[in-house]
A and B are shown apart, each in its own frame.
Chain A
């Protein structure tokens, strides 16, 4: 529950936030996602696994599989762009938080919200270019993907990744993923990971920790 009575906690959190705004946290290892836009069947098992794990009511969706389709009958195409929180190197949400509830973890780069500090002002929701923060009306707080930090700490992968029936969603150190040096089933033998795809905000904004395997119609010029 939101507890704002403890003024010293808020003070400390706000200070932490101020520091992180001007000197972004550089994590020991930045974890990030990889999603194969082409091979994904769009089944949304990852979404449901996430909702079940986080006990979410209908409405807020920490993970969102976006369906993209185009062309004219009968020459059509379709692909999926699957995004939760991108645990950005320079998260746009973090500076907006008045209570310092949003923080970036030093050990693994996870951008997290301390629910006990969140007052539900929804500024982070407005700032995020990817729609990651999700307002939960029943609790009057904003919450979002924390990369299942409890599972990460236990040496396992997050629920969404472990739910993927096609093995097209994975997690790993983002620098290795970007260089395609990380062994993952999400990237096929003939695939190249890219930082940007159509229907995804410009990654230069926040340096998000995610790479994609792009559909031929979803490629953007670097």
Chain B
């Protein structure tokens, strides 16, 4: 084609007139039909170094794979076995796809900056390519290369030794979703591959509270009986008022295209409100009314709103009477009067009938720092605008008594009748469309545990064993003789998990880890956690193994993830490693091949060398026996593989609880109602025998957190630190990518008046400290942050100096390992102080990277 022809082609596509649109659709289908998207083209005068155009490269559709809250398409362009560049969904790959196709029903699944930088993670000097054995002290970072035989025999031997010596709770499962949110090679906190492996080995202590959103999870289960309380992302385009409570989708990219649908809502006249200590990019992009609020006081402000709505008779009494339990005296069940914890109703609590304190907007204003008039104005707006979405995000729930904030939000959503309607919002956790999520063996062995504790209490448990009370570690109740038995943790497995870097109060973890006898880290790169491991097992990334991606949280599609390149170095998949370990353990314990066979029933021991046919068999079975029949998909597996993506089209947008509201189907709670009064909590009298450990009111209440800007501790520690999710990392993943580090810096955000008082300017290094730890970071001074609040994003790779000061600026040096009763991590309940320092900030291991890169570099 001549350049002019090409330009016309572009023109026609850019104009997207009906005629040219149809034409290009046909062309796209033809390209797919021939089985190849690659169109060879003669090299033209192109004044660059040898440069392969996309059409000269081999194109493979795949996706990203981490626990960020969404899942988007990545398209790899390969030359031989090397990925030359990545692009993303351009509309061509789906059924009836065409270049540029991007409709409201089937939007493109465009990858974010983290996914787009994936080549840097894949080919990074920090990549783990060979099994490593520790030779230095824990945390020192000295390892030597060992063979797989040595590594696996060591781990198997130690596992047997610890189980024999310390019993069935000796090994702590700290798997997390960091490695893969796929259907086959799944790392998961509760029911992933590691859980099944340790469970079958009969030695596993589980960690039950989810760091990101346990307050929300517990709240959603109490209130709605499910965590699937979310509407699909496209419903956001239909709302008239969007209250983003502590929610910053411009950073988290939560849900497939949520942020994009919100832009559509804005264009259709939706008004936005942001309640957050920071004026975030979400606020600016959606032109939101910003209401700055003191961290940890959200439930008080919501109570003030509820008071306004009740006293001005703006609540939807018909909705309350029909669907809610415990909202007011009229919706209290008769049995509640005889319960130990369930005699109060929500409205009387708000009006002050029990404690003599009406929760007026003025009362709330004194706590949360928001003017009473603003609370009233917002309450009025929320109660009168229909439909309105109060999107109560997870972050304000990551607090002391964070569950009360989520419960209170649910009460507001219910009293205004915004549940089960298009454009409303009931979340919560917000998981929406239900995917067929499991292609790995899933059976009676999938979640066996002998003790289960709150995830951030492991160090406390290890350090104080056996003098630990069950409520201190949030021990889950059991029906057998192991109930109440404190786990004797002597080893940790990390799979897809950098938890040492990510859990609270790192200094306490450092103290605890030296008491362990086995620490195994399975990961694709070296991580700060890995430095404390005894054995590092190199795990193939999702580019190097066969899987299928499902959406995380919102969106309705599957993306095929073929093995794009061969596994680098000696890396293996998690499933390969656990299968081979199972065979070795079986042979050492007299079970022979039985353990290995049961663990991975479609494989034999040759799986170690040749996993592809087995992985294919699992995935095909999943597609043909689950996806196709359950979800009414008629695309055959082979076609799905050829397209690389399957996008579902719904008759109408998926709205959580639509059936309950429209058809009267009961909610999944014990009462079948929206439980503002929780039937479960109402019955409890002995709190120590529950996993909560401590008292929880059965209706949403404001409870003073143990640290906040209202507490006397501010004399010593005048700043409240919050640690939200960064945009340039997924938790700690991608911290080593220089492209991303160049777009943002690990820095602490400080209000300009605070900075003036302390003579601090943008770019200065400061030390932030409290009784738990010290970190060094540069400062960003801005008017966009509330005075008294510091913002430091989570996930920076720990880099301690010889004084124990973290030079990377990881906020978890300062957080407290004291969870909320419902299990919420108190990541955002932190007081601290700040001063200028001469200590140098070390972003991303710059000082150490050289030595490590020598150790971990791929042999060429």
User: A residues bordering B, Cβ < 8 Å?
Assistant: 1, 28-29, 38-45, 47-49, 51-53, 55, 57-59, 61, 69-74, 76-79, 107-108, 112-117, 149-157, 159, 162-168, 171-173, 182-183, 185, 188-190
Indicate which residue in B15, B16, B54, B282 contacts A151 across the interface (CB closer than 8 Å): B54
Indicate which residue in A44, A172, A188, A190 contacts B113 across the interface (CB closer than 8 Å): A44
A28 to B110, CA, bound (A): 32
B318-350 residues at the A interface, CB under 8 angstroms: none
Contact string against A for B residues 728-741, beta-carbon threshold 8 Å, 1 for contact and 0 otherwise: 00000000001111
Contacting pair B3 A165 (CB below 8 A) = no
B1-52 residues at the A interface, CB under 8 angstroms: 3-4, 6-7, 9-11, 13-16, 39, 41, 44, 46-49, 51
CB-defined A-B contacts under 8 Å, sample of 6: A49-B116, A73-B753, A112-B47, A154-B6, A166-B260, A173-B14
Q: Find the B residue at minimum CB distance from A156.
A: B99
- 16 more A-B contacts (CB under 8 A) besides A49-B87, A154-B41? A41-B281, A42-B285, A43-B112, A45-B113, A45-B116, A48-B740, A73-B751, A73-B753, A76-B784, A78-B283, A107-B3, A151-B54, A153-B3, A153-B44, A165-B257, A182-B14
In the complex, which residues of chain B have a beta carbon less than 8 angstroms from the beta carbon of A172? Answer: 14
Q: Find the A residue at minimum CB distance from B787.
A: A73
Contacting pair B49 A115 (CB below 8 A) = yes
Contacting pair B285 A73 (CB below 8 A) = no
Indicate which residue in A53, A79, A155 contacts B9 across the interface (CB closer than 8 Å): A155
Closest beta carbon of chain B to A189's beta carbon, Å:
6
Q: Find the B residue at minimum CB distance from A47.
A: B743
Contacting pair A76 B783 (CB below 8 A) = yes
B287 interface residue per 8 A CB criterion: yes
Contacting pair B784 A166 (CB below 8 A) = no
Contacting pair B53 A150 (CB below 8 A) = yes
Contacting pair B784 A69 (CB below 8 A) = yes
Q: Find the B residue at minimum CB distance from A68.
A: B284
Q: Find the B residue at minimum CB distance from A117.
A: B47
B639 interface residue per 8 A CB criterion: no
Contacting pair B784 A78 (CB below 8 A) = yes
In the complex, which residues of chain A have a beta carbon less than 8 angstroms from the beta carbon of B362? Answer: none
A112 to B48, CA, bound (A): 10
Closest beta carbon of chain B to A27's beta carbon, Å:
10
B742 interface residue per 8 A CB criterion: yes
A181 to B13, CA, bound (A): 15
Contacting pair A69 B782 (CB below 8 A) = yes
Indicate which residue in A47, A114, A171 contacts B47 across the interface (CB closer than 8 Å): A114
In the complex, which residues of chain A have a beta carbon less than 8 angstroms from the beta carbon of B90? Answer: 156, 162
A78 to B708, CA, bound (A): 28
Contacting pair B110 A163 (CB below 8 A) = yes
Closest beta carbon of chain B to A151's beta carbon, Å:
7
In the complex, which residues of chain B have a beta carbon less than 8 angstroms from the beta carbon of A156? Answer: 10, 13, 90, 99
Contacting pair A190 B284 (CB below 8 A) = no
Most chain-B Cβ atoms within 10 A of its Cβ — which of A77, A114, A150, A190? Answer: A150
Q: Find the A residue at minimum CB distance from B743.
A: A44
Contacting pair A74 B6 (CB below 8 A) = no
B640 interface residue per 8 A CB criterion: no
A153 to B15, CA, bound (A): 16
Contact string against A for B residues 64-92, beta-carbon threshold 8 Å, 1 for contact and 0 otherwise: 00000000000000000000011110100
User: B residues bordering A, Cβ < 8 Å?
Assistant: 3-4, 6-7, 9-11, 13-16, 39, 41, 44, 46-49, 51, 53-55, 85-88, 90, 99-100, 102, 110-113, 116-117, 119, 249-250, 253, 257, 259-260, 263, 266-267, 279, 281-285, 287, 290, 292, 727, 738-743, 751-753, 782-787
A76 to B90, CA, bound (A): 36
| Those 3 A-B pairs whose CB atoms lie nearest each other, nearest first | A41-B250, A155-B9, A114-B47
Indicate which residue in B119, B267, B786 contacts A73 across the interface (CB closer than 8 Å): B786
A201 to B784, CA, bound (A): 26
Closest beta carbon of chain B to A179's beta carbon, Å:
14
Contacting pair B6 A153 (CB below 8 A) = yes
In the complex, which residues of chain B have a beta carbon less than 8 angstroms from the beta carbon of A185? Answer: 102
In the complex with contacts A41-B282, A73-B752, A183-B16, A165-B260 CB distance below 8 A: yes
Indicate which residue in A29, A151, A155, A163 contacts B116 across the interface (CB closer than 8 Å): A163
A113 to B51, CA, bound (A): 15
Q: Find the B residue at minimum CB distance from A154.
A: B55
Contacting pair B16 A48 (CB below 8 A) = no
A188 to B284, CA, bound (A): 16
A45 to B257, CA, bound (A): 14
In the complex, which residues of chain A have a beta carbon less than 8 angstroms from the beta carbon of B86? Answer: 49, 52
Contacting pair B739 A58 (CB below 8 A) = yes
Most chain-B Cβ atoms within 10 A of its Cβ — which of A47, A52, A157, A182? Answer: A52
In the complex with contacts A38-B287, A39-B285, A52-B86, A74-B3 CB distance below 8 A: no
Closest beta carbon of chain A to B637's beta carbon, Å:
29
In the complex, which residues of chain B have a beta carbon less than 8 angstroms from the beta carbon of A57? Answer: 738
Contacting pair A166 B263 (CB below 8 A) = yes
A59 to B727, CA, bound (A): 20
In the complex, which residues of chain B have a beta carbon less than 8 angstroms from the beta carbon of A107? Answer: 3-4, 7
In the complex with contacts A48-B116, A150-B54, A154-B53, A115-B253 CB distance below 8 A: no
Contacting pair A52 B117 (CB below 8 A) = yes
Most chain-A Cβ atoms within 10 A of its Cβ — which of B6, B44, B292, B752? Answer: B6
In the complex with contacts A48-B743, A53-B85, A107-B4, A69-B783 CB distance below 8 A: yes
In the complex, which residues of chain A have a beta carbon less than 8 angstroms from the beta carbon of B253? Answer: 43, 165
Q: Find the A residue at minimum CB distance from B100.
A: A157
Contacting pair A165 B783 (CB below 8 A) = no
Most chain-A Cβ atoms within 10 A of its Cβ — which of B16, B48, B102, B787? Answer: B48
Contacting pair A78 B281 (CB below 8 A) = yes
In the complex, which residues of chain B have a beta carbon less than 8 angstroms from the beta carbon of A28? Answer: 4, 7
A125 to B88, CA, bound (A): 31
A188 to B287, CA, bound (A): 14
Q: Find the B residue at minimum CB distance from A184.
A: B14
In the complex, which residues of chain B have a beta carbon less than 8 angstroms from the beta carbon of A40? Answer: 285
Contacting pair A189 B99 (CB below 8 A) = no
Contacting pair A116 B46 (CB below 8 A) = no
Contacting pair A51 B285 (CB below 8 A) = no
Contacting pair B113 A43 (CB below 8 A) = yes
A40 to B281, CA, bound (A): 9
In the complex, which residues of chain B have a beta carbon less than 8 angstroms from the beta carbon of A29? Answer: 7, 11
In the complex, which residues of chain B have a beta carbon less than 8 angstroms from the beta carbon of A71? Answer: 783
In the complex, which residues of chain B have a beta carbon less than 8 angstroms from the beta carbon of A166? Answer: 259-260, 263, 285
In the complex, which residues of chain B have a beta carbon less than 8 angstroms from the beta carbon of A45? Answer: 110-113, 116
A53 to B284, CA, bound (A): 29
In the complex, which residues of chain A have a beta carbon less than 8 angstroms from the beta carbon of B285? Answer: 38-42, 166
Q: Find the B residue at minimum CB distance from A185.
A: B102
A42 to B259, CA, bound (A): 12
Closest beta carbon of chain B to A117's beta carbon, Å:
8
A117 to B47, CA, bound (A): 9
Closest beta carbon of chain B to A56's beta carbon, Å:
8
In the complex with contacts A42-B281, A78-B784, A150-B51, A188-B259 CB distance below 8 A: no
In the complex, which residues of chain B have a beta carbon less than 8 angstroms from the beta carbon of A70? Answer: 783
Closest beta carbon of chain B to A170's beta carbon, Å:
8
A166 to B253, CA, bound (A): 11
